[in-house]
Amino acid sequence: MSMHIGRHWSSTYQARQRGVVDARPTIEEECPCPVEPCGLVDMDKIDPECPEHSMEAAKTIRANHRGEDCPGASA
């Protein structure tokens, strides 16, 4: 089972879905990991050199959901 994770607050993506545009890119948009339709990163596809998502980075994950429950898949 894949998990989609993100370091930005989940409300950032939800605001964009409602049409509220935030001029600042999210952490996920600036990192080397491929981004899923929901705006988060699939844990199985994390770039090992990523300074944000790699296990070695040891940073806080603020948003997540199971890949099969991805809200972006139906968008």
pLDDT tens column, 14-73 = 666 677 666 567 788 889 999 998 888 999 999 999 999 998 999 999 889 999 999 888
Question: By three-state DSSP, how is residue 50 classified?
Answer: coil
Rounded to two decimals, the pTM is 0.77
51: in domain:
yes
Please report whether residue 75 resides in a domain. Answer: no
Total of domains in the chain = 1
**Domain-embedded: residue 26:** yes
Q: Is residue 9 part of a domain?
A: yes
Which are the contacts of 65, defined by CB distance < 8 A and separation ≥ 6? 3, 4, 38, 40, 71
Domain that holds residue 25: 3-68
Within a domain: 45: yes
- The answer to whether residue 28 sits within a structural domain is yes
Indicate whether 34 belongs to any domain: yes
Residue at 73 is within a domain: no
